[in-house]
Amino acid sequence: MTRQATQTATPAEITPELVAGHGLSEDEYARVLKILGREPNLTELGIFSVMWSEHCSYKSSKKYLKTLPTEAPWVICGPGENAGVIDIGDGLAAVFKMESHNHPSFIEPYQGAATGVGGILRDVFTMGARPVANLNALRFGSPDHPKTRHLVAGVVAGIGGYGNCMGIPTVGGECQFDPSYNGNILVNAMTVGLAPADRIFYSAATGVGNPVVYVGSKTGRDGIHGATMASAEFDAETDAKRPTVQVGDPFTEKLLLEACLELMASDAIVAIQDMGAAGLTCSTFEMADKGGTGIEMDLDQVPVRELGMSAYEIMLSESQERMVIVLKPGREDEARAVFGKWELDFAVVGHLTDNGRMVLKQGGEVVADLPIAPLAEASPEYDRPWEATPSPAPLPAADIDPPLADGEALLRLLACPDLCAKNWIWEQYDHMVMGDTVERPGGDAGVVRIHGSNRGLAVTSDCSPRYCYADPESGGAQAVAEAWRNLTATGARPLAITDCMNFGNPERPEIMGQFVGCIEGMGAACRALEFPVVSGNVSFYNETNGEGILPTPVIGGVGVIDDLVKRMTLAFKAQGEAILLVGKTTGHLGATTWLREIAERRDGAPPAMDLNAERGNGDFTRGLIEEGLLTACHDVASGGISVALAEMAISGGLGATVAIPEDIGIPTHGWLFAEDQGRYLLTASNPTLVMAAAQKAGVAIENIGKTGGDLLTVGDTVAISVSELTRAHGSWLPEFMAVPDEN
């Protein structure tokens, strides 16, 4: 069936229970009545519900998101469009964004994760960009939780199933485990695309009378109330929400991608918007609002999969692989031919008007008549009460007696769920398709070649939720700095970030305080590092039965490598090269991985952030890479120096001998496992030049050892073969996933 069967809006008495069931408070419903001057019908109530949901309106976060730095000379388009856009030179732009699909992925892991990938891909190619790289940031519950293995398997299969079919390489990401995610996992998907810098497409619908067309897949009943479901916490009835999870089709998405890019090569498009959360409702309202126009639509013209769909169902469906396009007048046949060639539905469903209203007709009757601006712009904006997280006391290494010998502790860290090798995951993704992947997953950042050139894009995602829980401001700053460091370690020039802000219930002051603190820290780091925010997403209500997740503001970073010949990797390259440590080590163990995994404690302040030192150390390191003075580079992060050295040894299949500096004033375990920020491990064949450059730049640096042999030896307490390190690092995840799933 290609046309909607005639059916008027289903009559329904608007009761307080019905209003509450649509996620609207009494105050919000009073605002609805004031805007309309009357009671809404069911379709109109549904539209208000999704447009004013937390997921679509950002009503709890707007106040603070406005404080983030979003501008730089290279920023073409900041937050507010489908994705952010930055100028990367040579007439090209990078287009990227990260989105959450947390709630659907917990309910139905395969489809939830798959449609998360599909949605973020559409956000990018809607802007006129061809996607060139995917990333994903995953958080699961404790490995011993009965659902964790099932969720890992389903999510990874969903990401791979969709991304692989699309032919887009997955080149990076992260995966962590913590009990706080037992009842609410996080699936954050990021896509980066390339487009001509002067051919970016936007969503503002302009030109009274211009046709509004629907393209892509047909509309079904899947995903109805998806946006409102994503704006509420889970409870014992979570499984009943399965019908709100959309079902994706990557093969149709691939056709849609190619059709859109083909039409974009013409000058027929005025505006374009994908149908994501809240489907046809959100896309049309946002387009009309940005363009200052109205829209009149005939829902009988919407291609549908099922008979008898009501206006309510058509407008709120979140069926996948769909777009709304405003065309120039008279270009309908041209556009229809393009989408027909790709075997996709194409229908003229309406036109732009000058009255600023959304008028929906079905069966010849008006089934909804709503003002656009109040719905889109006058959605609630809350200044929710918040409580600052109390600052924890510092935890000096000298105050903690190590329960394990240093060598044993290193092996345990390498094998722990957060730090172990994630090959089991990324080997299920096609990370080499398109032939431009230069650095596959497993390094500091993924790197893809800008096709036909010797330039590359470096991409990464990162967050340390334990820091954000201990001190949100410090943790937010660290997440930005870590992404910046990851890019720098490859030799890339960091340019901009996207974020995915995952938190619990904002109506709880302590949760809102976590969000406010993280935003403050992120903003400070972005300003200090000239690393603006160009896109992002907020996901609240990530909790179950009142138990919230750790605050998890994931940062996706993008940078440019101007000469791929000079790009850097973390692997030890040759025997006898000097190992240099950039940055100061104070022995910080509060809120560290060592503290949690070895000492079985979660207390203490997170690492202090010195953003000036962060900037100086990173710029210095990048300069060394550009001058060709280094052979390897790796930032020091979770697990400290010892884990970073082990990762370099494992990657290169080569050992090293490292001396712990004398008179460091901290215990050995503090030097080995501290997570002080702003540090890099480097190797160089001519360390004299590097040390001289550091002295000139005023950067702290130490020559701590040499590469060589088949053992990693650190001081007097660590002497482990590279093969044993490799076994410890690579065994946990495949062994965990090899256990039969009981779900």
222: pLDDT strictly greater than 90? no
What is the per-residue pLDDT for 375?
A: 84
What is the per-residue pLDDT for 233?
A: 56
> Strand 130-140 to strand 170-177: parallel, antiparallel, or no bridges (unpaired)?
parallel
Residue with tokens 């360390």: 687
Region 494-515: what's the mean pLDDT? Answer: 97
For residues 740 and 200, the model is more confident at 200
**Nearest alpha carbon to residue 238 among 225, 229, 247:** 229
Local structure of residue 355 (DSSP, 8 states): S
Cα four-point dihedral sign 359, 259, 216, 448: negative
283: pLDDT strictly greater than 70? yes
Active site residue 431: no
> Strand 680-684 to strand 578-582: parallel, antiparallel, or no bridges (unpaired)?
antiparallel
Sheet with 493-502, edge to edge strand ranges: 437-439, 446-449, 456-462, 552-561, 493-502, 533-539
CA angle 658-664-667, nearest 5°? Answer: 85
* Burial letters 152-182, b for 16+ CB under 10 A, else e: bbbbbebbbbbbbbbebbbbbbbbbbbebbb
Region 691-712: what's the mean pLDDT? Answer: 98
The per-residue pLDDT for range 462-478, each reduced to its tens digit, is 999 999 999 999 999 99
Q: What is the 3-state secondary structure (H, E, C) of 670-733?
A: HHHHCCCCCCEEEEECCHHHHHHHHHHHCCCEEEEEEECCCEEEECCCEEEEHHHHHHHHHHHH
Neighbours of 510 (CB within 10 A): 14
Helix (H) or strand (E) segment spanning residue 526:
helix 509-529
Position 177 confidence tier, pLDDT thresholds 50, 70, 90: very high
- The contacts of residue 283 (CB under 8 Å, 6+ apart) are 273, 274, 275, 276, 324
Q: Which two tokens stand for residue 514?
A: 């976590």
Q: Where are the beta strands (DSSP E) in 380-492?
A: 437-439, 446-449, 456-462
* Percent residues over pLDDT 90 in the chain: 89
Contact between residue 480 and residue 522 where contact means Cβ atoms under 8 Å apart: yes
What is the per-residue pLDDT for 224?
A: 76
What does pTM read for this prediction? 0.94
Query: Which of 272-281, 355-364, 571-580 comes out lowest in average pLDDT?
Result: 272-281
**Nearest alpha carbon to residue 478 among 645, 635, 647:** 635
223: pLDDT strictly greater than 90? no
- The contacts of residue 614 (CB under 8 Å, 6+ apart) are 481, 484, 485, 525, 528, 529, 677, 678
The per-residue pLDDT for range 321-352, each reduced to its tens digit, is 999 999 999 999 999 999 999 999 999 999 99
Query: Which of 244-253, 516-525, 567-576 comes out lowest in average pLDDT?
Result: 244-253
What is the per-residue pLDDT for 742?
A: 61
Active-site residue among 55, 103, 225, 669?
55
Query: Which of 6-20, 636-650, 674-688 comes out lowest in average pLDDT?
Result: 6-20
Contact between residue 467 and residue 474 where contact means Cβ atoms under 8 Å apart: yes
Report the length, in residues, of the chain: 743
- Tell me how far apart the alpha carbons of residues 392 and 245 are, in angstroms, rounded to a whole number: 40
- The contacts of residue 587 (CB under 8 Å, 6+ apart) are 396, 397, 398, 664, 666, 667, 670, 671, 674, 676
Region 100-121: what's the mean pLDDT? Answer: 94
Neighbours of 382 (CB within 10 A): 15
- Tell me how far apart the alpha carbons of residues 670 and 356 are, in angstroms, rounded to a whole number: 63
Local structure of residue 433 (DSSP, 8 states): T
Position 55 confidence tier, pLDDT thresholds 50, 70, 90: confident
Cα four-point dihedral sign 81, 82, 88, 93: negative
Average pLDDT value over all residues in the chain: 93
- Tell me how far apart the alpha carbons of residues 666 and 39 are, in angstroms, rounded to a whole number: 69
Active-site residue among 101, 588, 669, 729?
101
Active site residue 150: no
- Tell me how far apart the alpha carbons of residues 108 and 247 are, in angstroms, rounded to a whole number: 10
Coil vs helix vs strand at 114: helix
- The contacts of residue 470 (CB under 8 Å, 6+ apart) are 389, 392, 590, 591, 603, 604, 605, 606
- Between the alpha carbon of residue 653 and those of residues 447, 489, 633, 637, 682, the distances in Å are 21, 20, 15, 21, 16
- Between the alpha carbon of residue 483 and those of residues 78, 100, 106, 500, the distances in Å are 19, 18, 26, 13
In DSSP notation, 3-42 reads SPPP-PPPP----HHHHHHTT--HHHHHHHHHHHSS---H
Q: What is the dihedral of CA 510, 512, 516, 522, to 10 degrees?
A: 100
486: pLDDT strictly greater than 90? yes
Position 516 confidence tier, pLDDT thresholds 50, 70, 90: very high
Position 56 confidence tier, pLDDT thresholds 50, 70, 90: confident
Q: Which two tokens stand for residue 491?
A: 């030799």
What is the per-residue pLDDT for 374?
A: 86
What is the per-residue pLDDT for 740?
A: 80
What is the per-residue pLDDT for 683?
A: 98
Position 662 confidence tier, pLDDT thresholds 50, 70, 90: confident
420: pLDDT strictly greater than 70? yes
Query: Which of 72-76, 181-185, 377-381, 575-579 comes out lowest in average pLDDT?
Result: 377-381
Q: Which two tokens stand for residue 721?
A: 């073969």
Angle between helices 332-341 and 250-264 (to 10 degrees): 140
Position 242 confidence tier, pLDDT thresholds 50, 70, 90: very low
